[in-house]
Structure 1
Amino acid sequence: MAVRVARMVLAVFLGLGFLLPVSVGAEGPTPLAAAGYLVIPEPRSVQLSGASFALDGQWVVDPGKVAPNDIAVRMLIQDMRELNGVELSLGSAGSRVIRLAVERGAVKTGARQAVDDQGYRMVLERGRITITGNSLVGLFYGVQTLNQLVKQASDGSRQLPVATIEDWPSYELRFLHWDTKHHQDRMQTLKRYLDWSARFKVNMISFEIADMFAYPSHPVIGAPGAFTPEELQDLVDYGLERHIQIVPNVQSPAHMDYVLKHPEFAQLRSDGSNYQANTCDERTYELLFDMYQDLINATRGVRYFHVSTDEFYYPGIDPSCPKPYTPENKSLTWIDFVSRVHEFMSQRDRRMIVWLEYPVWPEHISQLPSDVIDGVLGDDYLPPRDPAVVGQQQVDAEKANGMDVLAYTWIQGSDYLLPYTFERDILGGVQRFLSREAKQLWGEYPLGAFGAAWDDAGLHNEVFWLGWSAVANWSWTPDAPSVSQHLAAFMETYYGPRVVGMTDVYRDLEEQVRFFRNSWDEAGSRERGLGYGYSDGKTPIMFKDMLLPTPPMPRLPGLDFVPIYQTTLYSGRVDEAKALLAENTGLMERLQENLGRADRNQYNLEVLYALASFVRHHESMLIGLSQVERHLQQARSAAEAYRPRPQDAVKSLIRAYQAAEAIVADRLATFAELTATYEKSRFPKGRSVDGRTYFHAYDDVKNHWAGTRPDLSFMTAPEERIGLEGWMADLKALTLEYAQSHGLELEPIEKEFEPGA
């Protein structure tokens, strides 16, 4: 629906015969979009003549002095064919030529060298298109713009505008976050992600690899089937060819349960917790430096290393630490750790990125090496103090120390199944922070931007692409476009121009998954012990699990019971499930339709379809639990009648059993379909390989949904806690006992409980 509306708006603009200027953040389209051309990221400067021309297979690509096998040449030809259906060939003669060139100063950016290198100038005329990059990088980005600029006219021809484009980024480094702590993508999946990242002009990936890397120095850390050094280097080389650096991101010294869970490293747990390594023990540095070196060796060509230091809650808490455990010493211990790791990284020519946050005091930042990059500008996770520390104090201290920062924004924190409020909070938040707030905080656009997509809740990476594209767009061109235009651009660019109503599909699926999350109860976990602590300090905490009550069990002799799902507490959820189930049917039909319409990234729609189906089952389950109780009520009515009707009571008990059986069967079938869909792009979660079994252990501090089980069944665990299978066994026994007490023949009744009866 939204794409259609966007096209209608563009048509109105075209019909007026002139172009309107659009201010930053305005809801109207940019001039390029108003002419019917949607590009991610939006180019910085576009001059349109109002005319257009056709692009077809008669055009040739003249690489000039650029090597014919350069990635810019290859992607131009490949994407024109695969994304636009235009078959181009190499050549220099003819009346229709796309000329490629590299010329220093082709576009005057006034920016530092690393940004200037990314600039390009494109002139589009009838019969000739010239793309000139300030470097090969700029040329590559110009090619990405051209490939997206092509639009399909109503007569089926491919059209381009007569125009001049001058373009370069505002943020030098544009990071997307691949978090793989709870899953492992297949290699072809990650290469596809690199292709699309390149199309969106992303040049940095922070690869939070955890135990999905086979560390040669400590093989026990790597999960079964983890990427080998050779595989990781192959992926890095694939990215470097596309001007993308895959920066290793090692969570340390906190969030280290993936290492410290192993008995071999138990002695390095800080104060006995597997969440954090003891930085007062020299062996911790030996271990970390081994891990860092393994990843440095497997990421040749990369200039950065992300040490993270994320949520380093308890620096110096171990009894072996020499300093008193005070807020000030916590900050100084953090500084000591980063300074020592920085020395290691500097000797290996890697620039270090950290999360500079709690528990660091602003007055201690001057002790840090000035070339450390803070990756979380805008994160207000600051040390509690009186008077309160404010974010500007930290920013001022970093600027005074000559540091660089990344504008941190997130597209996923701990939402379940799908990022919630994608339009207002995810896209709007990315736009707002990268276009205005980061610049206001830092005084200018920072060195880079970082788009975090956390794996805590085990979301499939396919659901991040809308958010990732937003980070790519507004870190390149912070001033444009509006959120609504970006939505339209993403749906057309990522799926192809023939999809319909995809923005509404996202909105409706968001509503569905929000209901999934909110319709569970939460109670203290019976599956794991107390936690070590949380951000405010060491204190035993009770983790919570999602669950719902087991259906009531009738009592003999009169089959009386206390209802649950027909009470006020749960009947509202059942009613909402009924309404949403009807909407879900339409949602799945629209996804199915767009699977046939999408020209690219159909697998992404398969994932969305699997999620819609998963929530459909949840809604059906709630309705089914209410139906179970209705059957129990009918059984009770028959048993308690003035003249009891035991045969009718038994029939109702059997119907209650069969309703529960249907819920279980549908859960198993739906989960099997979801698993099959997920595993097209990723390996089975918690798999065993070559005789090695995945070693699962709970994190002593965090309760990540995806970490509560070794496999994908964490998604069905809330329903499994209802205990329907056990309830069914008990109901069967009760039914037979009731029937026997009333002299009914048991054999035909027992057959009714057989599967498929």
Structure 2
Amino acid sequence: MGDFKLLPQPQEFNITGISSFSPSTEITHWAINQEKLPILTRGILPLKKEDNNGQAHLNYQIEANMDIPSEGYTLSIEKESIHIKAKDKAGLFYAFATLEQLYEDAKDQEVNLPLCQIIDYPKLSYRAVHLDVKHHLETTDYYYGLMNKLASYKVNGIILEIEDKLKFKRQPTIASDDALSIEEWRKISDYAKERHIEISPLVQGLGHASFILKHPEYHNLRDNPSSDWAFNPLDPKTYEVQFDLYLDAIEAFPHGKYLHVGGDEVHTSGRGSKEPALKLQLIWLDKVSKFAEEHNRTPIFWDDMPLLQADVYAPMFKPEMTEEEVEKVWEENEHKLLAFLDDFPKNCIYMRWNYETPQAPGNIKAMQWFTDHGMEVMGATAGQTRWVLMPQNDSNMENIRSFAVSSIESGSKGLLLTLWDDDSPHFELYMRGILAFAEYSWTGDKRSNEEIKMAFRQREYGFPLAAIENAFISDLEGPVAFWKNALLKGNKRNYLKSMEQPMEDGLMDFPNINDKGAWSVANADRLEKAAQYMELTDSISKKITLARSNALRNDYNLQVYEQVNKLAQYSPKILLTLAEYDNAVSRDEIMASAAKLKELKSDFNSLRKELENVYRKTRILNKPANYILDQDHHVHLANQSLNFDWQFYAEMLFFKQLDKGLEKEMYLENTDPLKK
């Protein structure tokens, strides 16, 4: 009969047998009430328009009076006919997206479509993904392909954090030279809208304003003259600049219902005014919220600072706290919020972001506080935070599930999946988390994470890779986490360029030529892990090679994982070769191990070139030559060089030190009379 794994899984999906529709069957279709055929994102259905409804295999219609939520539909595949009935245009689009997945599975397995009845609708009405382009852009073609993919999995919103990647007309200095024009972004927005995705801009406001305030002509708008982080909320010119950016962003993304104004992680003084920080924040929020409303946008605001300034923030990230303990914190501190309650805009959505502990009583209490006081609240989970090279923690699937479930149970309008570009993994590596979010925000909690991973592999690579023995992504997380600091003292990869002391101080010690073997003893635990991860990455390499030979689609995604695995394997290889060098005693052994280390440097240059060649197929790796890097208050890896050096600083630094160490070794070898 075949194995059909839809994603997201429909609310009701009953298979009762096998239809007469084979993958080679040409399906004639007929639109009841002249409804237009929706866009087919996968483009694989063998459809043919039929002029006679009586002979059509497939008929479809929109019936607004259906007893089903918005975006819902029914899909019935009978022996020789297919019937689709949708609540609205979006529902019709999603019905065909489901039919395409069914057809894709049938084609992969060379079986007929199943006899089945599907009743389907979303549990959350707004299912949005965050695109953060502050540190780099993808190619334009990639964005168009991404719109198709997200739509095919029933994502219906994007919050696009635009920073300087829009060619602003009203404040042109702010735009990066590689920014897309208003017209280019609008075309992408139009394309998304045709696929029932609304793109709304996020223009960072009060804080996170380095992309603006780093430019000399805006220095006078800084809250702190020495920092490019935050605007002065008491300067009227602050709003002239921000409103200009809003207007351009609204033009670029005309279909979005929201204007996300940011507002997180900032403490302002108003250039030394005596106003409390919370009051200043709400002055700013009131002004930008009114502007949004005047331009037919609902403002969205990250809600962390009012909660932090009122001392009720910490419990949201302490799931071990009981409800009683949380209530005590609120009893002691809620008055700090209530004192400014009238200043909170009521037209704003307060976005409660929590990437690790959404189930904590403190987080639930904070969301309820906004609701209890007449304000709308929406959650934000994460598929990528500050993980380097690739997302970790099973793509954060469990926390995504938890926040989706609590959002559904609370009757929330929707949920946002943030995908931060701070440390800039390749976007292809976000896909597993995105598809898990698509499942949980549409369907709710019906399948386990392992079942969703299996559906992910079937959907993204094809039926031959669905089985668990083909899984490798979670296995790769350990080697990647080890790679980050394998050659360093402590957790310093992000800080190599920003440390006050020389960069070399962040590098692990080099073997001492006068104390052979001591380095290996001191680094025994590190070497043990290196050996384990060498073995594991060898196993992963074989799985990816086999996957690439068996995958029916998305080979590029596998190519990216292949490069990540090679890079993750490289640091263990260095460490084990260093141990060999450290324990070498005879001149021949020393020279042989030194030669291996030098060869690793040559191998690294080839590895980097190969990785960059794969990445740049969809990603713009370098910033413009005249780009001004900001002050990097949060130490973002991707903000630390104009080219792609930031990804490899630890390795580059290591080889610099290696050359010095080998030169010293060779000098002593050649000048020691006992060794001549």
**Which TM-score tier does this pair reach, normalised by the shorter chain?**
0.7 to 0.9
1:436-460 residue CA offsets vs partner (Å, 9 max, x unmatched) = x3355xxx32011111111112111
TM-aligned CA distance change 1:218 to 1:502, over 3 Å: farther
Across the two proteins, how many residue pairs are aligned to each other? 639
TM-score normalised to structure 1 length: 0.78
Aligned to 1:395: 367
The partner residue of 2:613 within 676, 688, 704 is 676
The partner residue of 1:695 within 621, 625, 628 is 628
| CA distance in 2: counterparts of 1:706 and 1:603, whole angstroms | 22
| CA distance in 1: counterparts of 2:665 and 2:526, whole angstroms | 29
| CA distance in 2: counterparts of 1:743 and 1:659, whole angstroms | 25
Q: Which shows bigger deviation, 734-743 or 709-718? A: 734-743
Give the number of the structure whose alpha-carbon radius of gyration is greater. Answer: 1
The 3-state SS of whatever aligns with 1:591 is helix
Contact 1:171 / 1:476 at 8 angstroms: preserved in 2?
yes
Aligned to 2:183: 230
Aligned to 1:720: 652
| CA distance in 2: counterparts of 1:462 and 1:254, whole angstroms | 29
Contact 1:174 / 1:204 at 8 angstroms: preserved in 2?
yes
Aligned to 2:407: 438
1:646-678 residue CA offsets vs partner (Å, 9 max, x unmatched) = xxx4x5554354233122112211111111111
Question: Are 1:91 and 2:46 an aligned pair?
Answer: no
| CA distance in 1: counterparts of 2:211 and 2:498, whole angstroms | 17
Q: CA deviation at 1:281?
A: 1.9
Question: Are 1:353 and 2:300 an aligned pair?
Answer: yes
The 3-state SS of whatever aligns with 1:567 is helix
Q: Which amino acid aligns with 1:105?
A: N
Q: Which amino acid aligns with 1:422?
A: D
Aligned to 1:752: none
Q: Which amino acid aligns with 2:630?
A: A
TM-aligned CA distance change 1:154 to 1:135, over 3 Å: closer
1:313-361 residue CA offsets vs partner (Å, 9 max, x unmatched) = x122632x342xxxxx222221111110011111111111111122344
TM-aligned CA distance change 1:209 to 1:367, over 3 Å: same
Q: Which amino acid aligns with 1:433?
A: F
Q: CA deviation at 1:545?
A: 9.6
Q: CA deviation at 1:734?
A: 5.9
TM-score normalised to structure 2 length: 0.87
| CA distance in 1: counterparts of 2:233 and 2:566, whole angstroms | 46
The 3-state SS of whatever aligns with 1:522 is coil
Question: Are 1:54 and 2:30 an aligned pair?
Answer: no
Question: Are 1:480 and 2:446 an aligned pair?
Answer: yes
TM-aligned CA distance change 1:280 to 1:624, over 3 Å: farther
The 3-state SS of whatever aligns with 2:510 is coil
The partner residue of 2:42 within 76, 79, 93 is 79
1:110-148 residue CA offsets vs partner (Å, 9 max, x unmatched) = xxxxxx331112222111111121111110011111111
Contact 2:61 / 2:84 at 8 angstroms: preserved in 1?
yes
The 3-state SS of whatever aligns with 1:614 is helix
Aligned pairs for 1:224-623 (under 5 A) are 224-271=177-224, 272-312=226-266, 314-316=267-269, 318-319=271-272, 321-323=273-275, 329-360=276-307, 361=310, 362-363=337-338, 364-376=340-352, 390-422=362-394, 426-435=396-405, 437-439=406-408, 444-499=410-465, 501=468, 504-517=471-484, 519=486, 520-522=488-490, 525=495, 527-528=497-498, 547-552=506-511, 554=513, 560-561=514-515, 565-568=519-522, 570-623=523-576
Q: Which shows bigger deviation, 396-405 or 212-221? A: 396-405
The 3-state SS of whatever aligns with 1:680 is coil
Q: CA deviation at 1:464?
A: 0.9
Contact 2:12 / 2:120 at 8 angstroms: preserved in 1?
yes
1:67-108 residue CA offsets vs partner (Å, 9 max, x unmatched) = 55x5x2x40xx6352xxxx532222447551112111123x1
TM-aligned CA distance change 1:577 to 1:92, over 3 Å: farther
Contact 2:265 / 2:305 at 8 angstroms: preserved in 1?
yes
Contact 2:132 / 2:421 at 8 angstroms: preserved in 1?
yes
1:346-384 residue CA offsets vs partner (Å, 9 max, x unmatched) = 1111111111122344423553232211222657999xx
Q: Which amino acid aligns with 1:474?
A: Y
Aligned to 1:665: 602
| CA distance in 2: counterparts of 1:612 and 1:170, whole angstroms | 37
| CA distance in 1: counterparts of 2:74 and 2:101, whole angstroms | 16
Aligned to 1:637: none
Contact 2:371 / 2:377 at 8 angstroms: preserved in 1?
no
Contact 1:122 / 1:129 at 8 angstroms: preserved in 2?
yes
| CA distance in 2: counterparts of 1:523 and 1:434, whole angstroms | 32
| CA distance in 1: counterparts of 2:181 and 2:469, whole angstroms | 38
The 3-state SS of whatever aligns with 1:176 is strand
The 3-state SS of whatever aligns with 1:566 is helix
Contact 2:109 / 2:463 at 8 angstroms: preserved in 1?
no
TM-aligned CA distance change 1:273 to 1:62, over 3 Å: same
TM-aligned CA distance change 1:228 to 1:154, over 3 Å: closer
Contact 1:52 / 1:159 at 8 angstroms: preserved in 2?
yes
Q: Which amino acid aligns with 2:113?
A: L
Contact 2:367 / 2:377 at 8 angstroms: preserved in 1?
no
The 3-state SS of whatever aligns with 1:681 is coil
| CA distance in 2: counterparts of 1:155 and 1:210, whole angstroms | 42
The partner residue of 1:104 within 55, 64, 78 is 64
Contact 1:268 / 1:283 at 8 angstroms: preserved in 2?
yes
| CA distance in 2: counterparts of 1:292 and 1:502, whole angstroms | 49
Q: CA deviation at 1:260?
A: 1.8
TM-aligned CA distance change 1:275 to 1:156, over 3 Å: closer
Unaligned runs of 5+ in 2: 311-336
Aligned to 1:732: 663
The 3-state SS of whatever aligns with 2:564 is helix
Q: Which shows bigger deviation, 471-480 or 574-583? A: 574-583
Contact 1:173 / 1:448 at 8 angstroms: preserved in 2?
yes
1:435-487 residue CA offsets vs partner (Å, 9 max, x unmatched) = 2x3355xxx32011111111112111111111111111111111312222211
Q: Which amino acid aligns with 2:161?
A: E
Q: Which amino acid aligns with 1:287?
A: V
CA RMSD of aligned residues (A): 3.0
TM-aligned CA distance change 1:567 to 1:151, over 3 Å: same
Q: CA deviation at 1:417?
A: 1.5
Unaligned runs of 5+ in 1: 1-13, 15-34, 110-115, 324-328, 383-388, 531-541, 555-559, 635-648, 746-757
Q: Which shows bigger deviation, 264-273 or 494-503? A: 494-503
| CA distance in 2: counterparts of 1:460 and 1:623, whole angstroms | 28
| CA distance in 1: counterparts of 2:563 and 2:159, whole angstroms | 28
Contact 1:176 / 1:205 at 8 angstroms: preserved in 2?
yes
Aligned to 1:11: none
TM-aligned CA distance change 1:498 to 1:266, over 3 Å: same
Q: Which amino acid aligns with 1:98?
A: L
Q: Which amino acid aligns with 2:508?
A: P
TM-aligned CA distance change 1:343 to 1:80, over 3 Å: closer
The 3-state SS of whatever aligns with 1:521 is coil
Q: Hey, which of these two has a bigger chunk of helix by percent? A: 2
Aligned to 1:644: none
Contact 1:99 / 1:131 at 8 angstroms: preserved in 2?
yes
TM-aligned CA distance change 1:292 to 1:488, over 3 Å: same
